[in-house]
Structure 1
Amino acid sequence: MKIIVLMENSAQEGLICEHGLSFYLEYRGGRYLLDAGECGAVLYNASKLGVDLSQVDKAVLSHGHYDHADGFSAFFRVNSAAPVYARPRITDPEIWAEKEYIGINMGMFCRHEKRFDLAEGPRDLADGLHLIPDRVKHEQSLVAETAEGLVVFNSCCHAGVVDILAQLKERFSGQPIRAVLGGFHLMGKGGTSTLGPAPEKVRAMAAALRDDLKVKDIYTGHCTGAPAYALLQEELGDRLHHLTAGAVYEFAD
């Protein structure tokens, strides 16, 4: 299994960064895109990284926020066939009631509605590759079974990374969690330079990932935020890796 980070809040030299997230996956002969960032710059990074998005077989939208969804408008310009698998409530206005609207661009969605495959999970994209909904009504995890254990993607973990992984470990009984990749939504209201929860809660989360769930490697960034990442680093040491556009990770299928 090969993973290339196409978009993230930070980027390797020569690539574009934005407040968004996008992963390209090659898994057991299939090519997949998870999220597409916020503005279409994913096309530039993909080209620089040698990723041909026209050859993607299936795409996934992790949840209905603009910084993961709106880049699909650009993706559709270069890929005319791949369906985008998402939960049906990604466009539900009840989700955004009395909040600042940070949802999917509805103009984009209406123009390309036929490209979205909206159904409630769990669903299998391929043998060993699963979409599992969580308790946030528009969010889902992408879970890959590998020879090393489960590799889990949950782009923002609004339901809480520990709860998400605990439920997945119960569902996939007997399989260890090899890695988790995504943002942990620990930033404060002031953005990625601020801390949302109390420091002790971040440390407790790190301890649960390390000691209870025994996750071998944790790859995070995006909405985790710099202060929370620093706290996680203190607790997790070399288990923790910072996501950045251009990074490549591989796991044995």
Structure 2
Amino acid sequence: MKITVLMENSAQDGLIPEHGLSFYVEYRGGRYLLDAGECGAVVYNAAKLGVDLSKVGKAALSHGHYDHADGFNAFFAVNPSASVYARPRITDPEIWAEKEYIGVNMGMFCRHEKRFDLAEGPRDLAEGLHLIPDRVKHEQSLVAETSEGLVVLNSCCHAGVVKILTQLSEQFPGTPIRAVLGGFHLMGKEGVTTLCPTPEKVRSIAAALRDDLKVQDIYTGHCTGDPAYALLEEELGDRLHHLTAGAVYEFAD
């Protein structure tokens, strides 16, 4: 299994960063896309990285926020056929109680509505590759079974990374969690330089990932925020890795 980070808040030289996430996943001969960032620069980054988005067979949307969904407008221009698997409530206005609208661009959604496959999960994109909903009504994880254990991608973990992984451990009893990739939604309302929970809470999250769930590698960035990342790093050491556009991670299928 090979995962290429196409979009993230930070980027390697020559790539475009933006506040968003996008993962290109190669798994057992198939090619998949999870999220597409916010503005379409994912297409530019993919080309720079030698990723042919026209070959993606299936795509998925982790949840209904613009910084993960709106880049699909550009993806559809280069990929004429791949469906985007998402939960039905990604466009439900009842879930957007924010002062500022942060949901899916409805113009984009209406233009490409037939490209979205909306249904409640769990659903399989392929044998061993699952979309599994969590308690946030528009969010889902992409979960890959590998010979090393589960590799879990949940782009923002609004339900809480520990709760999400605990749920998955119950659904896959006896299977270790090899890695988790995504943002942990720990930044404050003022942005990635601020912290929402207390430092003690962040340290407890790290302890649960390390000691209770025994996650081998944690790859995070985006909405985790810089202060939370620094606290996680103190607790997790070399288990923790910073997501950035252009990074490539490989796991044995």
Place the TM-score, normalised by the shorter chain, in its bin: over 0.9
| TM-score relative to the length of structure 2 | 0.99
Aligned counterparts, 1:68-79, within 5 A: 68-79=68-79
Give structure 1 stretches of 5+ with no counterpart. none
Determine helix, strand or coil for the equivalent of 2:4: strand
Determine helix, strand or coil for the equivalent of 1:67: helix
Aligned counterparts, 1:13-162, within 5 A: 13-97=13-97, 99-162=99-162
* Percent identity for Structure 1 against Structure 2: 87
| Partner deviation per Cα, 1:102-131 (whole Å, 9 max, x = no partner) | 000000000000000000000011000000
Q: CA deviation at 1:98?
A: 5.2
Distance 1:113 1:237 in 2: 44
| TM-score relative to the length of structure 1 | 0.99
- Counterpart of 1:141, as a letter, is S
Determine helix, strand or coil for the equivalent of 2:167: helix
* Cross-structure match for 2:232: 232
| Partner deviation per Cα, 1:147-169 (whole Å, 9 max, x = no partner) | 00000000000000000000000
* Cross-structure match for 2:180: 180
CA RMSD of aligned residues (A): 0.5
CA separation of 1:47/1:98 partners in 2, compared to 1, >3 Å: closer, same or farther? Answer: closer
Q: CA deviation at 1:100?
A: 1.9
Determine helix, strand or coil for the equivalent of 2:215: coil
* Cross-structure match for 1:247: 247
Distance 2:98 2:28 in 1: 43
Q: CA deviation at 1:97?
A: 3.0
Which structure 1 residue ranges, 4+ long, deviate > 4 Å from structure 2?
A: none
| Partner deviation per Cα, 1:124-147 (whole Å, 9 max, x = no partner) | 110000000000000000000000
Q: CA deviation at 1:69?
A: 0.1
Distance 1:92 1:109 in 2: 12
Distance 2:166 2:100 in 1: 31
Determine helix, strand or coil for the equivalent of 1:31: strand
